[in-house]
Amino acid sequence: MKHASCLFAFLLTSAISLQAATYTLDTRYPVAGNGGWDFITIDSAARWLYVSHGTQVDVLDADTGKVVGVIADTPGVHGIAIASSLERGFTTNGKENKVSVFNTRTLALIKKIEVGEKPDSIYFDSASQRVFTGNHGSHNITVIDAESATVVGTIDIKGDGEGLVTGNHGTIFVDLEDKSEVVEFNPKTLEVLHRFPIQGGEAPTGMAIDREHDRLFIGCHNKVLVVMNATNGQTIATLPIGAGVDAAGFDKQAGLIFASNGDGTLNVIHEKT
């Protein structure tokens, strides 16, 4: 979890092209209170931004920064996953080994679910309609049926799962921060299919994917972004990024890869080929 602060910086693009991208700091949204930060999640349909904030989730209007609500009682919250079609959201509460399930219209708590130890990352897979939590204490993944909000299984990944993405063929990839590996598993059968060592990368966290070209973009704490072939685990390239990376993203239309870093920088990399 990141250091305490009372401001949340919101970055907007000022110009994008396939040849170049220019990004500037557009504005800052004030968020009152103490406590650390971790992941943010946007509900694109509702234009609500979910900000994990110590023991609660602050919910902001993504266009104005106005606070629209709070999801309270989420001690040690790390990540937020949104299942828009079900009007449900899920948070990983790392200090109580639970996931909070809430209504995305009212932000009211629906229930809490017992999961593995020290849940950190969380991911909703729309194809399987399941939620996956990376549990750092028990080194596994808890699998939750999003509609019934019940645990349906556990995946023994033997490591601390961080970034999760769905691949081109419906399987899910997760990188292991403590093992410097990528694990591929079937979200329906929960079978582990492959384990790929991350060549050139150490302590991976954020991960994104170019599904069209089967490329994984893995942010690592040795200040590199590893580009991996998702079909065989081979490293395609390693690129320099800032320190303390924790999240990654990919814009397929512009061909841009993003890595957000704890040193206060955002790397933007253009995928040319």
Instruction: Summarize pLDDT for 203-238 with one digit per residue, the tens.
Output: 999 999 999 999 999 999 999 999 999 999 999 999
pLDDT for position 273 = 84
Q: What is the mean pLDDT, run by run of 10 residues, along the chain of 273 residues?
A: 45 42 82 89 95 96 96 97 96 98 97 98 97 98 98 98 96 97 98 98 98 97 98 97 96 94 93 89
3-state secondary structure 193-233: EEEEECCCCCCEEEEEEECCCCEEEEEECCCEEEEEECCCC
Tokens of 263: 């040193």
Q: Torsions phi, psi of 227, nearest 5?
A: -100, 115
CA distance 61 to 64: 6
Provide CB contacts within 8 A for 148, sequence distance 6+.
Answer: none
Q: How far is CA 138 from CA 10, 54, 188, in A?
A: 34, 21, 21
CA distance 102 to 123: 15
Q: Tell me, rounded to whole angstroms, the distance of Cα 72 from its chain centroid.
A: 20
**Alpha-carbon torsion angle 180, 186, 187, 189, nearest 10:** -130
CA distance 80 to 248: 15
pLDDT for position 25 = 84
Tokens of 60: 């902001």
Determine if the pTM surpasses 0.85.
yes
SS3 content of the chain, % helix, strand, coil (to 5): 0, 60, 40
Contact (Cβ atoms closer than 8 angstroms) between residue 246 and residue 233: no
User: Radius of gyration of the chain from Cα atoms?
Assistant: 18
Q: How far is CA 158 from CA 3, 33, 176, in A?
A: 28, 36, 9
pLDDT for position 21 = 55
